[in-house]
Amino acid sequence: MRLFVGLGNPGEKYARNRHNVGFMAVDAIAKRHGFPPWRRRFQGVASEGALGGERVQLLLPGTFMNESGQAVAEAMHFYKLTLPDIVVFQDELELPPGKVRVKTGGGIAGHNGLRSITAHIGNDYRRVRIGIGHPGVKEMVHGYVLTDFPKAERDWVEALTGIIADNAELLARGQDPSFQNKVHLAMDAKGFGPDDDGE
């Protein structure tokens, strides 16, 4: 069993915020792979299905970002999972918009959702870091992440969440480098490749 967790804040007010791109990615996986309707579980909503021959529980915590670890810990203990079974989809300020990196463990870079999860279960879970860019000034970060993606960015957001969903089976099978590479190539093919320094 794998646990795929989308990070975000619950409710319509936040649905299109940059901070909610983790929710968007996991919701895209549910739709693309025909998961059953969401139901209330683990202090959020969850849906169980199969990806790449693996059972996968999708979870969108309903606790608000800062308490995401409560929901993750509850699901982890229920299924007796280990940290490598857990994949967290998060927004990442330190990556250019549309860039994706997969890593295990590492720093939390001020991300309150990751801070809460690490406090509850430890740090060595897997993270799908979805770049949203940085506003340039630390004082602007809070407002930036809680603002909706502007119309000009919605095309790459939709493309990227779809590509993540297309390749989610690789994550379920633990093939993180292959997943990252396929996402990168598919974004390039759609014309959303990086114009940055290649980080």
Structure tokens given for 33: 């792979």
Going by C-alpha positions, the residue among 92, 122, 87 that lies closest to residue 2 is: 87
Active site residue 19: yes
Asked if 98 and 187 touch (Cβ cutoff 8 Å), the reply is: yes
Catalytic residue among 19, 111, 120, 134: 19
Cα atoms in the 13 Å half-sphere on the side-chain side of 99: 17
Residue 150 carries which DSSP code? Answer: P
SS3 61: strand
Would you please indicate which residues are annotated as catalytic (active-site) residues? 19
